Amino acid sequence: MSFSGKIKEELERAIAPSRHCQLAEMAAIYDFCKRPSEENEGRIVIASENELPVRKFFTLLKKTFNMYNSHADSALFYGKSGAWYRLVTDDPDETEKVRSAIKTTTETMRSCCRRAYVRGAFLSAGSVSDPEKSYHLEIVCQDERQAQFLTELLASFEIEAKTVLRKKARVLYVKDGTNIVDTLNVMGAHVAMMDFENTRILKEMRNSVNRKVNCETANIGKTVTAAQRQIDDIRCLMESDAYAELPPALKAMAELRVSYPEATLKELGELSTPELGKSGVNHRLRKLSRLAREYADKE
């Protein structure tokens, strides 16, 4: 199952304890899944290629209006029609109650209701990329109104969302990993939030280790290159008459460098008699290289 599928299954099971929050989630599902071309004043039609938002709307209808018990035969139909899952209510009185309650809820939403609305919107038209691959959350809105309303709801939780036009739909998206975690938390997808966070932490640890390894590899490469250049300079001096005139300390360093080509400056200092610090070793090697260049220029 995809990461988005796991999130939606978690959200479908999450039922807000308060009726006003349940209505807010119903309002979101209705807004994103309604079928205006099939509706009329006494009829509500909810349809989606995904069963979960339709099933959630059905569950919330039972809890908020008790419609399952009083109109099981005539007022409700929930099932699969072709590639679509559909819910139909045909009772005019109950339909008016549902529409009126949904409208009132969206006009005066508390913080908890805003969370419920975002949950319903994502359940209806949202997706999240696998965090192992990329950080991307999006909700496909039908128009600019939906996108703007959702953007404002997320902004109330200090979550920055952007929108882009994709074909005929306005898509709201969140790219930043921290903002995606906050959005999952707002919706109440706490298990998915922890999975996302764990994956993100592991990715950041791997990236950090890779950066350090690459840095160390680069430093090793620089050290090897510098050591080889020093050895070439020293051998050039050894083949010249100038080498015999070098002070004993420089000769000793030259022989150590040639004998231990892979040694670091610190290790060369420890092999010296008396011991030298890195700066002392580096000073003598620089002097040897300079003398080698001077001899090469004379030649």
174 and 246, same domain (yes or no): no
Is residue 241 classed exposed, middle or buried when 0-12, 13-18 and 19+ CB atoms within 10 A define those classes?
A: exposed
Our count of domains for the chain comes to 2
Given this model, what pLDDT does residue 69 score? 43
**Are residues 102 and 23 in contact, defined by beta-carbon separation less than 8 angstroms?**
yes
Please state, in angstroms and rounded to a whole number, the distance separating the CA atoms of residues 186 and 112: 9
Q: Answer yes or no: is 207 within a domain.
A: no
State which residues form the domain around 80: 3-198
13 and 118, same domain (yes or no): yes
194 and 257, same domain (yes or no): no
Q: Answer yes or no: is 192 within a domain.
A: yes
Q: Answer yes or no: is 190 within a domain.
A: yes
Domain end, chosen from 198, 222, 245, is at: 198
Please state, in angstroms and rounded to a whole number, the distance separating the CA atoms of residues 141 and 188: 21
Q: What is the pTM of this model?
A: 0.68
List the chain pLDDT tens, one digit each, 299 residues.
788 899 999 999 999 888 889 999 999 999 998 887 776 777 888 888 888 998 899 888 888 887 654 443 333 455 555 567 888 877 777 788 888 887 777 677 888 999 999 999 999 999 999 888 888 999 999 889 899 999 999 999 999 999 998 888 899 999 888 899 999 999 999 999 998 888 888 877 887 777 888 887 777 777 778 878 888 888 888 887 777 778 888 888 888 888 888 888 888 888 888 888 888 888 888 888 888 887 777 76
Given this model, what pLDDT does residue 70 score? 41
182 and 225, same domain (yes or no): no
CATH code for the domain in which residue 178 is found: 3.10.28.10
218 and 186, same domain (yes or no): no
Q: Answer yes or no: is 120 within a domain.
A: yes
Cα torsion 94, 100, 104, 106: sign: positive
DSSP letters spanning 240-275? SGGGGGS-HHHHHHHHHHHH-TT--HHHHHHHSSS-
